[in-house]
Amino acid sequence: MMAVPLDHYVALAAVMFFIGVIGVIVRRNPLVMLMSIELMFNAANLLFIAFARAWVQNSGQIFAFLVITVAAAEAAIGLAIIVTTFRPQKYVDVDDVRTLHG
Amino acid sequence: MTHHLLGVGGTYPLLLALWLLPLAGAVVCWAFGPQLGRLAGWLVAGLVAASFVLAALSWGAATQNAAGMLGANQRLVAWMPGFDFGLLLDPLSLIWTFIITGVGFLIVFYSLGYMEGDGAFARFFAYMSFFVFAMLTLVLSDNFVGLLVGWGLVGLASYFLIGFWFERPSAVAAARKAFVINVVGDAGMMFAIFLIFAKVHSIGFGDAFAAAGTFAPALLFGVCATLTIGAAAKSAQVPLHTWLPDAMEGPTPVSALIHAATMVTAGVYLVARCAPLWNHSPQAQLLVGAVGGVTALIGAVLGTAQWDIKRILAYSTMSQIGYMIMAVGVGAYEGGISLFFTHAFFKAQLFLGAGLVIHALNNEQDVRRMGGLWKRMPFAFWVMLTAVLAITGVPPFSGFFSKDEVIYGDLQFGHPALFAISALTAGITSYYMFRLLFLAFLGEYRGEVEHGHAPGWTMNVPVAILVAPSVAIGGALMSGGESAPWARFFAPQFGAEMAAVAHRPPAISEGMTSVIVFALVIIGFIIAWWRYATTEAKRDAVPRLAGETAHMPVVLTNLFYVDAAIDLVFVRSAQFLGNFFGRMLDPHVLDGAVRDVAFWARWLGAVVRSFQTGLVRAYALILVFGATSFIVYYTFATYGMRH
Amino acid sequence: MLLVLLIVVAPIAAGALIFALPRNDRTISRGAGTAVAIATFAMLIAARDAQWSVRWLSRPFEAAFHFGTTPVSFWIALLLALCTACAVATTRVARTRDFVALMLMLEGTMLGLFLARDLLVFALFWDLMLVPVFFGLVGWGEHPATAWRYFIYNFAGGLTLLLATAAFGVIYGSTDVIGRADAHLVGAWAPWIYAGFAFAFLVKAPIWPLHTWMPPTYGGLPSPMVSVVSAVQSKAGLYGFIAIGLALLPDYVREYADPLMVLGAISLIYGAVVALVQNDAKRVVAYSSLSHLGLIIIAVASGNRIALAGAVVYIVAHGLFSAALFMVLGYLEEREGTRSLLRLGGLGWKNPRLAGALCIAALAALGLPGLAGFVGELIILVGVYQAGYVWPVIVALVGIVIASAYMIRLYQDLMNGPEVADVPVRGDLTWLEGLAVAPLLAALVIVGIYPVPLLRL
C-alpha cells in the first residue's frame, strides 16, 4: 500500500521536469544548464521508482541506477567541456560558443 | 574427296630444336647485345644455319607417309579441351622452313656487311633472329591458334624492323601503319577460329579439315572469307596492301627477307594449308582467286609509276604475291607454291642487289639519280639482270617454270578471266622490271655520289649464291609436268586436287599459254627499251625523266586513292568519335548528369544547414517543441481509442 | 586455419605499425612494405584451400567472419600481393612512410574483400578499401575534388551493395554464401537485389556510363597506387559479377544479359576510341582499361563456361599489364616531369630498358599473340561466340584493332621519333626498378604460353 498516492509523485516529477526544461532554454550559464539537465534526469528517476513501487516491479529501480550512472558520466563530460571553454576567456556564455554552426 | 591426315600427338624433338634455336639467338642478342658486338651477327647467322641443317635432316621425317599420317609432329602443350598445341612438319611446312632458314641465313649473312657500323647492330640481329623464330612458329604450327601466334609475332618482328631506324618519323609512321593493318588481319583470323571452334570444338588443323565436308556452305564461306582477311593483310593484297610500300623504310635486308621472301607469303601458306576448306567452297576459291588476280594487276600497274628502287620492288612483290594467292585460291597449289619458292630466291636477289646499289650510293634510292651503274658495279648489274630475267619469266630461268604453272593453272581450274589478267600482268611486269634495270644501270650516271661504300665479301657472297637457284631451280625441279620432282614431292599433299582436274584439259594447251605469255613479256620489254634505253632516250635522260614525273597520272601517284580512303573512313572517323566522346560526352553529358545530382544535394544541404545555428539553447527549444508535438499528437490521436 | 585471417590482418596491422617509424623514413618502410606484401603472397599459396570462420550475427540473418579463397579470387589475391610488392618496392613519393602504410592498408582491405566468403564481410571491405585510395588522392593527388568524386561514386555503389546484401540476408536467411554452389536466390525481390549488386559492380569496374570518376582518379593517383588500383581494385566489380551475380543470382544475370552485354560493348568501343586521342599517357591507359573491362563484362554476360575461364585469364592479364604500364609510366614521369605524349619523344635511344618494359606491357595490352592478354581475349571470344552472340564478338574484334592503334601510338610517341629537345632525358631504369617490373612482365609471358592453372576451375 502506498502512503502517498501515485498522482502526487507524477505531479512532482512533471514540475521538476519543466523547471529543468525551462532552465536549459532560458539560462545561458552552462553550469546552470547542466544542473537543469540533472533535474530532468531526477524527475525521470522519481517516476521510475514511484511506478516500480506502485506496480511492484524491480526493473524500474534498476533503470534508475542506470540513469544515475549515465547522468554521472554526462556530468563529467559536460564539466570537462565547460572547463575547456571557460579557460581561455574566464567567462562562459553558451550563446558565444557557436563554432559548430552549419 | 579425302585429304591426307595430319599427324598429331607424336614426338620429334629435332623439330623443337629447329624451332627454338633462332629464339635463343634473339634472346641472347637482346640481353647481351652491347657485350657481343659484331659477334651477335655471326651468332644469329650460325643459329639460323643450324636450323636449316636440322630442317634438311628432317626431310625424311617430313615426307614420310605412314598409316595415312603425313609428316612428323611434336606435342607441345594443351590449354583446355580442344586447345592442343603442337608442331607439324610436312612437305608444305618443310618447303617454307627451307626458305625461311636457307634464304634467311643468306640474308642475315649479307646483313653482317650491310649493317656494319650501325649503332644498333645487335638489336638488328636480335630482331632478325626473332623474326625467323616467329615465322617458323607460323609455318610449323599444327593448329589455328599456333598459326595465329606466329601470325602476330611476325607482324611484331616486321613492325620492329620497319621502324628499326626509329628516329625517322617516316619509319615510325610506316611501322605503325603496318602493325595496325596486320592486326586487322589477325582479327579476321580470330573470327575464323571462333567459327571453326564453335563447329568442331577444336583448334587443330586435323579436326577442322576432317570435318570440312560437314560444314554448311555459308559457314565454310564465312571461315574462308575471314581467313582471307588475314591472308590479305599479311600478304599485302587489295585493299589491305597500303602498308607494304611504306614498309620499305626498313633496312634493305629486312625488305628482302620479310617483305619479299617470307613473311608476306604467309597468306599463300595459309590458303595452301587450309586447302581442304577451300576445296569444299568454290565461292571462297573464286573470292581468293579474284583478290589475288586484282592485286597482281594493281601491283604491276602501280609499279610502273614509281621512282624509288625499293618501292618498285615492293609493288612487284605485291603483284607476284597476288599471282601466288590467285593460284592457291583457284586450287593450283603446286603452282602457287612453286612461284613462292622461286620468287623467294629471285626477289631476295633483287632486293640484295638493290641493297648493293643503295649501299654504294650512300643510301640513294631514287632511280632518276642513278644510271650507268653497270660500268661502276658490274657485279650488281649481272645480279640484277639475272633476277629480272627470272622474275619476268624468260626461259630457262626459274620464274618461267613457276609462273607458267600459275598462269596455266587458271585455265586448268576453269578461270579464263583470271588467265587474261595474269597474262596481261606478266607483260606489265616485264615493262616495269626492265624499266628499273635500264634506268639504274644504262645511260649516264645522273647522281652526285662519286665514292660510296664498296660492298664487302659478306655482302657479295650471299648474292652470288642466290643467283644459282634463281637461274636454275625452276628447270631442275619443275619441268616435266606430272613426273617433275616438284609434283612428286607434293603429290601426297595436293595430289588428289590435281587428279580431279586432270581429266578436263582446257582449250589451250600449256605450250600455247607459254607462247602467249612470252609474247606479252617481249612486248613489255620492247616498250621499256623504247622509252628508256634507246640512244636518244639515254642522251637527254634527265629532262625526259623530269617531264615524265610531272605528267604522271594523278591516279597512279595517289595509288588509286586507297590510302586516302582508308584514312578518311577509318582513321579520321575514329579520331573524330574519340574527340567527341572524350571532350564532349564524357565531361559535359555523363559527368554533367552526376554533377546535377551533386548540385541538388548541395542545395538541399544549404536548406537544412540554416537550422544549424550553433546555439545550444535553440537546439534545446527545437527539441522540446518536437517532443511536445509528439506527445500532444499521440495523446489526442489515441484519445478516441481509450473512450 | 588462422593463417587465412593473418593474410587479411597482417597488412593492415603492418600498415598501422609503419606509422611508428620516423616521419621522414623511406628505406625501412619501403623494405618492410615489400616484405609484408611478399609474405602475404607466400601465405596465400600456403593457405590456398584453407578457410577461417567465426560467427558474427545470428539475427536477423546469419553472418560470419568467414575468410578463404575461391578458385577465382585466389588468383586475384595473388595478383594483388604481387602488384603491391612490386609497386611498394620502388615507391618514390613525398612522405614515403605514410604512403607505404596506406598501400599496405589498401592491400589488406582488398585481400579482405577477395577472401570474404560472407556477403556482409564483402560489403564491409568494399567500403573499407575506398578509404586508403581516398587518402591517397587527398594527400598525393593533383586535385582534391578528384578524391571526393572517387569516394562519392564508389560509396554510392557501396550503399546499394549494402542494401542488396541486407535484403539478401533477410530473404535467404544467411549471408555466408560466397563460394557455395547451392545458394541460389529467386523470388520477387531477387531482381532488385541483383540490381543493387550490379550497380555497385558497374560503378567499380567501371563500365560506361558510370566511368567518369575513373580517368581523373587514375591520372591523379601516384603511380604505385594507381597500378594496384587499376590492376586489382577494378576487378572487385568483375569478381562480384562472377562470385555473387553468376553464383547466387544466375537466373537474373541470364535474364538481363542483353543490357549488360550492350553496356560492355559500348564501354569497349567508347574506351578504345577515346584512348586513341588522349595526350596524357596515363589517361590513355585509363581509357584502355574501360575498354578491356568491357570485354570481361561481355564474357560475364554471355554466361558461357569457356568465356568465364577466359575472363579469369583476362582479369589476371589485365591486372599484370595495367600495373606494369602504370609503373613504367610512373618511372617515366618521375624522370621527365611530364607524361604528355605531345611533349615527350625519342626516349628509346637513351633508355632501352625503359622502352623494353613499356613495349612488352603495351604489347600485352594490345593482345599480341604469345602474351597473356591474347589468351584471355581469344578464350573469352571463343566462348562468347559459342554462346551464340555474334555482334559482341565483332565489336570486340574492332576494339582489338583500335587497341593496337592506341597502344602503338602510346609507345611510339614516347619512345620513338626524334629526341625532343625541351625535355631532359635522365637515365634508364635502375636495377631496382627493373627488378620491380620484371615479375609482372615475366608473368605476362608465362601466362601467355601456359595459362593452364588459370583455366582449371
Burial C34-62 (b: 16+ CB within 10 A, else e): bebbbbbbebbeebeebebeeebeeeebb
pLDDT at C375: 94
Chain B hits for A101, Cβ within 8 Å: 612-615
Distance CA C33, CA C100 (A): 6
Q: Out of B176, B574, B594, whose CB is closest to C276?
A: B574
What was the pLDDT predicted at B567? 83
The helices-and-strands tally (H runs, E runs) of chain B is 32, 5
- Does residue A99 or residue B148 have the better pLDDT? B148
Chain A: give the shortest CA distance to residue B594, in Å.
25
- When the pLDDT of each residue in chain C is averaged and rounded to a whole number, the result is 91
Q: How far is CA C169 from each of CA B258, C108, C109, C126, rounded to the nearest angstrom? A: 63, 25, 22, 17
Hey, what amino acid is at C57? L
Find, in chain A, the residue whose alpha carbon is nearest to that of B627: A21
Alpha carbon distance C347, B305 (integer Å): 38
Residue B24 is predicted with a pLDDT of: 92
B604, burial (CB in 10 Å: exposed 0-12, middle 13-18, buried 19+): exposed
Looking at per-residue confidence, does C428 or C134 come out higher?
Answer: C134
| Residue of B300, B308, B311 whose CA lies nearest to B365 | B308
Judge whether A97 is closer than 8 Å to chain B, CB to CB.
Answer: yes
pLDDT tier, B130 (very low <50, low <70, confident <90, very high otherwise): very high
C-alpha cell at C377: 581475349
Confidence tier at B150 by pLDDT (50, 70, 90): very high
**For A99, nearest residue in chain B (alpha carbons):** B614
What region does B362 belong to: left with phi over 0, alpha with psi -120 to 50, or beta?
left
Q: Which chain B residues are Cβ-neighbours of C270 within 8 angstroms?
A: 581
- Identify the pLDDT of residue B502: 57
pTM: 0.87
Cβ of B156 and C449 within 8 Å? no
Q: Which of A19, A22, A24, A39 to mutate to test the interface with B (most CBs of B within 10 A)?
A: A24
**pLDDT computed for residue A44 by the predictor:** 94
Q: Is B599 on the interface with C (CB under 8 A)?
A: no
Contacts of A21 in chain B (CB under 8 A): 620, 624
Q: How far is CA B199 from CA B2, B9, B113, C324, in A?
A: 19, 22, 51, 37
Residue B353 has pLDDT above 80, yes or no: yes
Percent of chain C topping pLDDT 70: 99
User: Residue with C-alpha cell 520477387?
Assistant: C188
Give residue-wise pLDDT tens across range B308-320.
889 999 999 999 9
Residues of chain B contacting A, Cβ within 8 Å: 608-617, 620-621, 624
Neighbouring C-beta atoms of residue B5, cutoff 10 Å: 15
Which range (A46-50, B456-460, C22-26, C332-336) has the least confidence?
A: B456-460
Closest CA to B261 of B390, B127, B121, B101: B101
Look at residue A83 in the predicted model and tell me its pLDDT: 87
What value does the mean pLDDT take over residues B586-603?
A: 83
Residues of B in contact with C285 (CB under 8 A): none
Q: How many angstroms separate the CA atoms of B109 and B343, rounded?
A: 19
**CA dist., res. C396 & res. C408, Å (int):** 18
Chains linked to C by 3 or more Cβ pairs within 8 Å = B
Average pLDDT over residues B513-533: 89
Confidence of residue B499 (pLDDT cuts 50, 70, 90): low
Q: CA-nearest residue of chain A to B610?
A: A102
Chains A and B form CB pairs within 8 A to the count of 35
Residue B416 has pLDDT above 80, yes or no: yes
Amino acid letter at C355? Answer: A
pLDDT of residue C40: 94
> Could you say which of C152, C382, C417 has the minimum Cβ distance to residue B172?
C417
Question: Does the distance separating the beta carbons of C274 and B582 come in below 8 Å?
Answer: yes
CB contact under 8 A, B624 and A21: yes
- Look at strands B69-70 and B72-78 and give their pairing: unpaired
Average pLDDT score over residue span C283-295: 93
* Region of C50 on the Ramachandran plot (φ > 0 left; ψ -120 to 50 alpha; else beta): beta
Q: What does each C-alpha distance from C271 to A53, C292, C319, C396 come to in angstroms?
A: 74, 8, 17, 12
* Angstrom distance (rounded) from CA C168 to CA C162: 10
CB C318 within 8 A of CB C292: yes
Contact across the interface for A98 and B615, Cβ inside 8 Å: yes
Chains A and C touch (3+ CB pairs under 8 A): no
Nearest CB neighbour to B582, from listed C278, C366, C416: C278
User: In this structure, which amino acid lies at residue B458?
Assistant: T
Q: pLDDT value at position B211? A: 86
Instruction: From chain A, pick out residues whose CB is under 8 angstroms from the CB of B617.
Output: 24-26, 28, 94-95
For range B128-147, the mean pLDDT: 93
Cα A24 to Cα B616: distance, rounded to the nearest angstrom: 9
- Supply the pLDDT for residue B14: 87
Q: How remote is the C-alpha of B284 from its chain's centroid?
A: 20
Give the SS3 label for residue B304.
coil
Hey, what domains does chain A have and what are their CATH numbers? 28-89 (1.10.287.3510)
From chain B residues 133-152, the ones with a CB under 8 A of any chain C CB are: 145, 148-152
Burial A20-46 (b: 16+ CB within 10 A, else e): bbebbbeeeebeebbebbbbbbbbbbb
Which pLDDT value is given to residue B585?
84
Residue C27: helix, strand or coil by DSSP? Answer: helix
Nearest CA to C218 out of C280, C268, C127 is that of C280
| Cβ atoms of C439 and C360 closer than 8 Å | no
For residues B60 and B1, the answer to whether their CB atoms sit within 8 Å is no
How would you class A65 by CB atoms within 10 Å of its CB: exposed for 0-12, middle for 13-18, buried for 19 or more?
Answer: exposed
User: Amino acid letter at B511?
Assistant: G
Tell me whether 0.85 is exceeded by the ipTM. yes
The pLDDT-based confidence of C196 (bands split at 50, 70, 90) is very high
Tell me: pLDDT of B46 over 90. yes
State residue B483's pLDDT score. Answer: 75
Find the CB nearest C381 among B166, B188, B194: B194
Taking the CA atoms of chain C, what radius of gyration do you get in angstroms? 21
Residue C268 reports pLDDT greater than 80: yes
Average pLDDT (B22-28) is 92
pLDDT digits (tens, 9 = 90+) for B427-462: 999 999 999 898 888 888 887 877 667 777 888 888
pLDDT exceeds 50 at position B86: yes
Per-residue pLDDT at B1: 34
Between β-strands B65-66 and B69-70, what pairing exists: parallel, antiparallel or unpaired? antiparallel
User: What's the whole-number average pLDDT of chain B?
Assistant: 86
Q: Among the listed ranges B257-261, B594-598, C359-363, which one has the minimum average pLDDT value?
A: B594-598
What is the distance between the alpha carbons of residues C1 and C76, in angstroms, rounded to a whole number?
Answer: 20
Query: How many inter-chain contacts (B to C, CB under 8 Å) are there?
Result: 131
Chain B residue numbers with beta carbons less than 8 Å from the beta carbon of A94 are 615-617
- Contact list in C for residue B197 (CB cut-off 8 A) is 382, 385-386
Q: Which of B70, B67, B68, B72 is nearest to B89 (CA)?
A: B72
Cell numbers placing B22: 633462332
Asked whether the beta carbons of B87 and B204 are under 8 A apart, the reply is no
Q: Find the CB nearest B620 among A24, A98, A99.
A: A24
List pLDDT tens digits, range B220-232.
999 999 999 999 9
- Which residues of chain A have a pLDDT value below 70? 1-2, 102
Is residue C430 predicted with pLDDT exceeding 70? Answer: yes
Question: What are the tens digits of pLDDT across the range C106-120?
Answer: 999 999 999 999 999
Chain C nearest-CA distance from B481, in A, is 41
A99 contacts B617? CB cut-off 8 A: no
Q: C417 and B184 in contact by Cβ < 8 A?
A: no
Average pLDDT over residues B153-166: 90
pLDDT digits (tens, 9 = 90+) for B548-586: 888 888 777 777 788 888 888 888 888 888 888 888 888
The lowest-confidence range among B24-38, B95-109, B310-324, C78-92 is B24-38
